[in-house]
Amino acid sequence: MTKISINSFVGTRTRFQRLRDAKLFSGWIESYSGAFVELSTSTNFAVQIGDEFRIEGYGHKIAMSANAKLVEIGKLDLQKEGMVMAVAGTSSVIVEAKRVLLRLEMSSPARFSASIENLRVKTPSIPILFDQQGNEFQGFCLDVGQQGLGFTTTESPKVNQEIQARLQTGQGVIHCTGNVRYCLPDNDRPGMRRCGVHLNPFDRTTGPKWERFIAEISEE
């Protein structure tokens, strides 16, 4: 049997709640090493070193939870650097707009349980070609799951409308269709819009390719 650890959740979506005031945050589990976990997030809530959080991660039919204490706030990378601003007269800082990296030290063992949450996996910026009612445009994949994908684009696809997508993967070209559920300004990328698609059921040929694609991304 495969051993489950927090490493199994690296690259997946996370929600975490600050214990002192129950503020909720969301983001991605970026890395895990020894007693430390790194989360990327964008938020306008003030955070400070020493804040304690309850972290939840969601894999394929399994959930992870643990407590951890914030020990460092840093920029994720030059492409997605965030603004970290001090709050005058306090030890707090505000993480503004773009995504930044929070480094936390584990303060409790991780617990694992069955989950019905849909798996979402962060992806490299894979080009995708879209067609919505004859309007063709390009975007870049940001995350995928069994029933959906997130992408960023300079276009503004219509919400609650069907869309066709074609992307090149290690499993070959995958064609899929779905419904655009949201399209909002992308806080991480000026001039872009972040969109989400709920995918229609795959046929018997494409479904296994999509599952292998998700597994491939999860292992990177």
pTM, to two decimals: 0.67
Sign of CA dihedral 41, 47, 48, 54: negative
Please provide the average confidence, as pLDDT, over all residues in the chain: 83
Please give the pLDDT value at position 84: 44
Please give the pLDDT value at position 135: 93
Q: In the chain, where are the structural domains located?
A: 6-114, 123-219
CATH class of 123-219: mainly beta
Note the pLDDT tens digit of each residue in 109-139.
888 887 767 778 888 888 899 999 999 999 9
Fold designation for 6-114:
Thrombin, subunit H (2.40.10)
Strand ranges in 34-119 using DSSP code E only, listed in sequence order: 36-41, 46-47, 52-58, 62-75, 83-86, 93-96, 100-106, 111-114
Q: What is the DSSP letter of 171?
A: T
Note the pLDDT tens digit of each residue in 8-24.
788 888 999 999 999 99
Instruction: Report residue 94's pLDDT band, with 50, 70 and 90 as the boundaries.
Output: very low
Nearest residue to 28 (alpha-carbon basis) of 98, 90, 101, 82: 101
Q: Could you tell me which residues come within 8 angstroms of residue 104 by beta carbon, excluding any fewer than 6 positions away? A: 36, 37, 38, 39, 53, 55, 68, 69, 70, 71
* pLDDT of 92 above 50: no
Please give the pLDDT value at position 7: 77
**Cα separation, 30 vs 37, whole angstroms:** 8
Identity at 78, one-letter amino acid code: L
Q: Give the torsion through C-alpha atoms of 116, 151, 218, 42, to 10 deg.
A: -80
- Cβ proximity of 147 and 198 under 8 Å: yes
Please give the pLDDT value at position 26: 87
Note the pLDDT tens digit of each residue in 174-199.
999 999 999 999 877 888 899 999 99
Please give the pLDDT value at position 66: 92
Identity at 20, one-letter amino acid code: R
Judge residue 29's burial from the number of C-beta atoms within 10 Å of its C-beta, 0-12 exposed, 13-18 middle, 19 or more buried.
buried
Please give the pLDDT value at position 78: 37
Please give the pLDDT value at position 34: 74
**Cα separation, 169 vs 173, whole angstroms:** 6
Pairwise pLDDT comparison (80 vs 144), residue with the higher score: 144
Please state the rounded mean pLDDT for residues 131-159.
92
Pairwise pLDDT comparison (201 vs 217), residue with the higher score: 201
Please give the pLDDT value at position 113: 84
Do the first three CATH levels of 6-114 and 123-219 match, i.e. the same topology? Answer: yes
Nearest residue to 11 (alpha-carbon basis) of 33, 35, 27: 27
Note the pLDDT tens digit of each residue in 28-86.
898 888 789 999 887 767 788 999 999 998 876 788 899 999 999 876 543 444 444 44
- Cβ proximity of 157 and 179 under 8 Å: no
